[in-house]
Structure 1
Amino acid sequence: MSLYRYFASKNPLPVVTALDENHFGEQFEVLPYRQNPPIAAGGQIQKPNIYKVRGNNSEMFLNQLVDYIKENVEEQNRVEFWSIWHNEKVPSKNIYRVNPQQITIENIKFINENDNCCIKFFFKNNK
């Protein structure tokens, strides 16, 4: 079984590759996903722009993820971050909503503590 991590967004997000010479480093990648929706999502991912997120489950990865979100995620794009096992679904108790500009490592540490989870970077009343 494989763990999949995705960003799903209403609008395109910047791509980060291991070859990029930026502060994200070689451990962190955000790459376009070719299938829509990914098989791993169990039908839950409905956004048109989907990006696989690569990196190990380290403190460095979490820091890079927080930096990427703060720099590139805007609430109006209705961005979601999914961490799910192949062909499983995220239970509603593991779906969180966070302001992207105020996110901290503590806000996302649960991705290492839960098998299946989702962070939504927008609130329900936004369209």
Structure 2
Amino acid sequence: MLALAFATAGTRAQNKTTAERLGDPPDSKLLIVLADHLAVAHSVETASFNALNKKAITSASIMVPCAWLTEVTSYAKDHPDTDLGLHLTSPANGKRIAGGRRNQKTKSQASSIPPAICGGTLSPRPAI
């Protein structure tokens, strides 16, 4: 009988909503605010690290690979309890990240475009 009580209690604990696990009513609406695009620019890091240090936000996502990745890794080493996730990107996807807009009209033009300048953090891009 005691084993059944423990088994039932364990199942109930696993069925709790995130809100309940945080101490809120089960039907609560939760707002998650995170710092996005760490490593894109020094100004982003300055604002995000300030907010993380003041507990205004509790998590952030790091764009990899991007120009300021070294600065973010230093912060992560100094703050091991900070919740940091990865926001993976493609440096040649036609969007503005760490090197500007890419114009890839043809394969020959695309292969002649140099990889993004990221302070040495990017590997050379293979020919397309």
Which TM-score band (shorter chain)?
Answer: under 0.3
The structure richer in helix per residue is 2
The structure richer in strand per residue is 1
* Pair member with larger Rg: 2
What TM-score do you get using the length of structure 2 for normalisation?
0.23
Bigger RCO (CA 8 Å, 6+ sep) = 1
What TM-score do you get using the length of structure 1 for normalisation?
0.24
